[in-house]
């Protein structure tokens, strides 16, 4: 059975994006877009990260970190993520207080 895709408009940091999505997954896509928009606004409002691309990368890292923390992960994986987090903070100009 083929899934019928439709185009859904999502708004992230006041910019509109058209995304192809199966009809049965539209609500999940909209929830994901709202969550991403919220995280990006939170990071932007901290004033520590500038530029939409950097804000998007930090939001993606924060969301990924949250998801990985929910799953059971080894101590080594957790340590690696923290090390990567610190290296990204250094590269982007300092620690971010917006991480969950």
Q: Burial level of 39, CB count in 10 A (0-12/13-18/19+)? A: buried
The pLDDT tens digits along the chain (100 residues) read 456 889 999 999 999 999 999 999 999 999 999 999 999 999 999 988 889 999 999 999 999 988 887 765 567 777 777 887 877 777 777 655 544 4
Per the confidence metrics, is the pTM higher than 0.75? no
Domains plus CATH for the chain? 5-92 (3.30.160.880)
pLDDT the model gives residue 43? 93
| The residue count for the chain | 100
pLDDT the model gives residue 41? 96
Q: Is residue 49 within 8 Å of residue 99, measured between CB atoms? A: no
pLDDT the model gives residue 11? 95
Q: Is residue 22 within 8 Å of residue 3, measured between CB atoms? A: yes
Q: Is residue 94 within 8 Å of residue 46, measured between CB atoms? A: no
pLDDT the model gives residue 72? 58
Positive or negative, the CA dihedral 77, 83, 89, 95 is: positive
Q: Give whole-number Cα distances, 43 to 25, 31, 39, 90, in Å.
A: 27, 19, 6, 16
């Amino acid at each position: 059975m083929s899934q019928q895709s439709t185009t859904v408009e999502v708004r992230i940091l006041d910019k509109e994006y058209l995304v192809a999505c199966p009809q049965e997954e539209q609500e999940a896509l909209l929830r994901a877009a709202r969550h991403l928009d919220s995280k990006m606004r939170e990071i932007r409002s901290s004033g520590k990260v500038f530029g939409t691309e950097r804000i998007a990368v930090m939001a993606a890292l924060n969301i990924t970190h949250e998801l990985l923390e929910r799953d059971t992960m080894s101590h080594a994986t957790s340590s690696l993520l923290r090390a990567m987090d610190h290296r990204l903070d250094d590269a982007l100009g300092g620690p971010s207080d917006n991480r969950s």
